[in-house]
Amino acid sequence: MKAKTADDCCPPANDEPDLRPAEGREADEELATLAKALGHPARVQIVRLLVRKTACVCGDIVDELPLAQSTVSQHLKVLKEAGLIRGEVDGPRVCYCIEPRALRRLKVLVAGV
Amino acid sequence: MKAKTADDCCPPANDEPDLRPAEGREADEELATLAKALGHPARVQIVRLLVRKTACVCGDIVDELPLAQSTVSQHLKVLKEAGLIRGEVDGPRVCYCIEPRALRRLKVLVAGV
DNA sequence: CGCCTTCATCGTGTTATTACGATTAGTCGA
DNA sequence: TCGACTAATCGTAATAACACGATGAAGGCG
């Protein structure tokens, strides 16, 4: 069995520029989706946590938040569905990390408002 | 009676730097609040509209959106409560414009994630 | 094999969001 | 003063968000 490392789940900093437009109806919906995902303090905290640790943290995210495990799991799901984070199964635990592309996209969209 | 102009309601581009911290629990909540306000396509559209028109647009925002007047009014309220826009009564109509300070704050917070 | 750990999912209750039409409260012009 | 116009608010309904405990699935260890 191969040992899993951060590289197994954290994308290696894709530097390709994003060609999608920064405005228009589609950009509006994209921005709304991403902003909505960030629209809760717990999720902001989670994203920050995952950004800080350049390697990906696992479910000890739960220990960092004053919320029940199931609630944290739900927030992680919201972030994942918005494309902001990714979760990779690693044995009995799950390794989460940010999706740098999506975060960058969010920054571009917000900056472009 | 003095004639109202854009300057009556649109703040004149306050350039003072924002001294509040860009992270921490308070920043998280602030970011969450602002992001949540932007977390709907209609509100993204409204904000963009108000940014485009450097002068402030009035309730013809309603004409730009495929929504009922009452619904738009509600979205405006959400944005106002988040501090992102301001509304000044000008005769029988209301003049809305962005709060540049808040928008700048949002950009700083997002960029700082 | 059983057991423990880790995490997702389910079920539930509460509250918030979204949308609409109808109503109300101003302001202006005739 | 009387309408016309603008925009907020109310009432209502449907859906979504949030949080929790309980349950379930999947992997590793003794």
pLDDT single digits (tens) A38-75: 999 999 999 999 999 866 777 789 999 999 999 999 99
C-beta neighbour count of B65 within 10 angstroms: 17
Q: For strand C, which nucleotides have at least one atom less than 7 Å from a protein CB?
A: 5-11, 17-22, 26-28
Bridge partners of residue B58, in order along the sequence: B95
Which phi and psi (to 5°) does residue B13 adopt? 55, 65
Q: A interface toward B at CB cutoff 8 Å?
A: 23, 25, 28-29, 31-33, 35-41, 43-45, 47-48, 51, 103, 106-107, 110-111, 113
Quick one: pLDDT at residue B5?
46
Rounded to whole angstroms, the distance from the CA of residue B18 to the C1' of nucleotide C26 is 37
Is residue A5 over pLDDT 70?
no
Alpha-carbon gap, residue A79 to A77, rounded angstroms: 5
Q: What is the mean pLDDT of chain A?
A: 88
Q: For strand D, which nucleotides have at least one atom less than 7 Å from a protein CB?
A: 4-11, 17-22, 26-28
Could you tell me the two tokens for A54?
A: 């350049």
DSSP string, A27-73: HHHHHHHHHHHT-SHHHHHHHHHHHHSSSPPBTTHHHHSSS-HHHHH
Is residue B25 over pLDDT 60?
yes
Quick one: pLDDT at residue B9?
65
CATH of B22-111, one of 3.30.1490.20, 1.10.10.10, 3.40.50.300, 1.10.760.10: 1.10.10.10
> Nearest residue on chain B to A51, judged by CA atoms?
B113
- Domains of chain A: which residue ranges? 22-111
pLDDT single digits (tens) B71-110: 999 999 999 999 999 999 988 899 999 999 999 999 999 9
Selected residue with higher pLDDT from B71 and B11: B71
Is residue B44 over pLDDT 90?
yes
Quick one: pLDDT at residue B1?
39
Alpha-carbon gap, residue A77 to A48, rounded angstroms: 16
Quick one: pLDDT at residue B92?
87
Nearest Cα to Cα of residue A51 among A93, A106, A112, A110: A106
A89-104: average pLDDT: 92
Tell how strand A93-98 and strand A85-90 pair up: antiparallel
Alpha-carbon gap, residue B83 to B70, rounded angstroms: 20
Is residue B50 over pLDDT 80?
yes
pLDDT tier, A8 (very low <50, low <70, confident <90, very high otherwise): low
Is residue A108 over pLDDT 80?
yes
Selected residue with higher pLDDT from B10 and B2: B10
User: Which of A3-7, A90-94, A99-103 has the lowest average pLDDT?
Assistant: A3-7
Is residue A31 over pLDDT 80?
yes
B7-18: average pLDDT: 71
Give the gap in angstroms from C-alpha B42 to the nearest C-alpha of chain A: 8
Place of tokens 């826009």: B85
